[in-house]
Amino acid sequence: MNRSRRLKLRIFRIVVLLLMGAFFLLPIGAMLEFSTRGNSVISPRTLDAWVLIAQTPGLVKGIVTSLQLAVITSLGMLVLLLPTMVWVRLRLPQISRIVEFICLLPLTVPAIALVVGLKPLYIWININVTPSVLALSFAYLILVLPYSYRSLDAGLAAIDLKTLSEAARSLGAGWITVMWRIVIPNMPSAILNAGLLSVALVLGEYTVASLLNFQNLQVEVAYVGLTNAPTSTAVAVGALVLAFVLLMVLTLVGGRLQQQNYIPGQRA
């Protein structure tokens, strides 16, 4: 690439990144500003709103609930999806397209539309299984399917599943051992990725929870926001920043893990 073109590209990049950066950071900054305002225009910045988070039982409950839901959903997703995908890959490749279609189906059904059908179902669940809010994870698992599927699929494609499992089985390993000691250790970043995407989705979910009359984090934030906007805003921006940090950590760790799992001879 010659010099003038390189220069033009550099200018373009700087301009775009600056403008976009401003556009995106502005509301975040505004949230921070809003949540740290004093009582009147001239009073100093304060963290009162933030402190209030811990003192608002609804918010605390919401945070705990959503965290629990996140963990349950991620684990449930892994337990349900990964063995199925491995099995399909190894034993039933013909139906892999069907499985893929099913996993991407939730993308075509808007949550708001799905919830219309989920309501009667959850009325039944409320009475016959459990009224706990954690029943939400059933629905959440469906919602995270597309993203987890894509992530795990990429991870499975990158390792030579067939060879590895056959080698392990020929050495006498049972299926559980294969999953636990062969498959999972060899795709750490994909699993981590799928897990984190699930967590992010669950933490940010509002539609299904609110319309099914459950109180998760986002529902609480919206509710509290009606009366105490600064505190709600504090929670919102806190959660956003937390999720961002988590994803950043994932990219760093994932890159390092990927290097450790480099299989010689399997160069791209």
Cα–Cα dist 145/100, whole Å? 10
Q: Which stretch binds other proteins (CB under 8 A): 2-10, 48-56, 178-186, 259-267?
A: 2-10
Find the shortest distance in angstroms from Cβ 150 to other proteins: 11
Nearest Cα to Cα of residue 198 among 65, 113, 71: 71
Under the binding rule (CB under 8 A), the answer on residue 16 touching other proteins is yes
Select 75 or 109, whichever has its Cβ closest to other proteins.
109
Cα–Cα dist 83/201, whole Å? 22
Cα–Cα dist 187/158, whole Å? 8
Under the binding rule (CB under 8 A), the answer on residue 192 touching other proteins is no
Under the binding rule (CB under 8 A), the answer on residue 117 touching other proteins is yes
* Region of residue 213 (left: phi > 0; alpha: psi -120 to 50; beta: else): left
Chain positions 31 to 50 lying near other proteins, rule: CB under 8 A, are 31, 33-35
Q: What share of the chain is helix, strand, coil (3-state, %, to 5)?
A: 85, 0, 15
Q: Site for other proteins (CB under 8 A): which residue of 118, 182, 191, 194? A: 118
Nearest Cα to Cα of residue 246 among 212, 197, 206: 197
Cα–Cα dist 74/86, whole Å? 17
Find the shortest distance in angstroms from Cβ 241 to other proteins: 9
Under the binding rule (CB under 8 A), the answer on residue 207 touching other proteins is yes
Chain positions 225 to 244 lying near other proteins, rule: CB under 8 A, are 225-226, 229, 232-233, 236-237, 239-240, 243-244
Under the binding rule (CB under 8 A), the answer on residue 222 touching other proteins is yes
Q: Which stretch binds other proteins (CB under 8 A): 53-61, 67-75, 114-122, 181-189?
A: 114-122
